[in-house]
Structure 1
């Protein structure tokens, strides 16, 4: 590998690794709250609440740590919120579809829904929300 491309490669790898750590943290919050709320709420409402809490964690950690955007701009927050509202629909929809048509195992629906929204979120955050 050429020396000039190595720092760029490190930057991308670092972002991916940090995004994974942030994602795991946000998913842990999401999952914990989901399973705390689900005995008392409709699964879709529980998922909505837990997802929003995970979203807040993800915004803060991705902005300041993963993508290292220190400036304070409301535009990033609006873009991030628009993205997460969009992927919230994907997340809840996939969760609902899995639970009603494929498996009644809550963890299966949660995992597949989370994977779908994660792929969308990284791609759009990198190239639109926090782009340089």
Structure 2
């Protein structure tokens, strides 16, 4: 079961990262906001997609499980903070490199992906929630 969940999570995560990255780069490119705010908006845009895709496809919750939304919001608030902080830290360390933005994005995304999978598996969409509804 965990192998299937992890495989689907990686597909959903890849799509989520694509949404995040395209939103982030578009906002930076247009100059509508500073890089940290653009990173946060990109992350939150991907989050909307990730909630529904992971709920239904990855973890098999066809119906809304009580409390899953607030647990998801709490998890993503934590991982958003980690994502933005890691991104900013990497940018500060890698600023001389021409690919600093891309490398920082990938590192921040990797950190938040690990935190997100563990949090969704053990906290947001935990198996006991399905059993409680049965």
Shared topology, TM-score over 0.5? yes
Give the whole-Å Cα distance in 1 for the aligned partners of 2:66 and 2:83: 25
1:24 to 9, 14, 23: 14
Specify the alignment match of 2:45 in structure 1. Answer: 53
Please identify, of 89-98 and 65-74, the stretch whose mean Cα deviation from structure 2 is larger. 65-74
1:68 to 32, 56, 60: 60
Give the whole-Å Cα distance in 2 for the aligned partners of 1:126 and 1:90: 18
Q: Verify: 1:34 aligned to 2:24, yes or no.
A: yes
Specify the alignment match of 1:14 in structure 2. Answer: 4
Q: Secondary structure at the match of 2:62?
A: coil
Q: Secondary structure at the match of 1:31?
A: helix
Specify the alignment match of 1:95 in structure 2. Answer: 87
Q: How many residues align?
A: 122
Specify the alignment match of 1:127 in structure 2. Answer: 122
Specify the alignment match of 1:44 in structure 2. Answer: 36
Cα RMSD over matched residues?
1.0
Q: CA deviation at 1:74?
A: 4.6
Cα distance per residue 1:47-92 (max 9 Å; x no partner): 0100000011110000000000112135101101100010100000
1:114 to 109, 114, 129: 109
- Structure 2: tracts of 5 or more residues without a match: 128-134
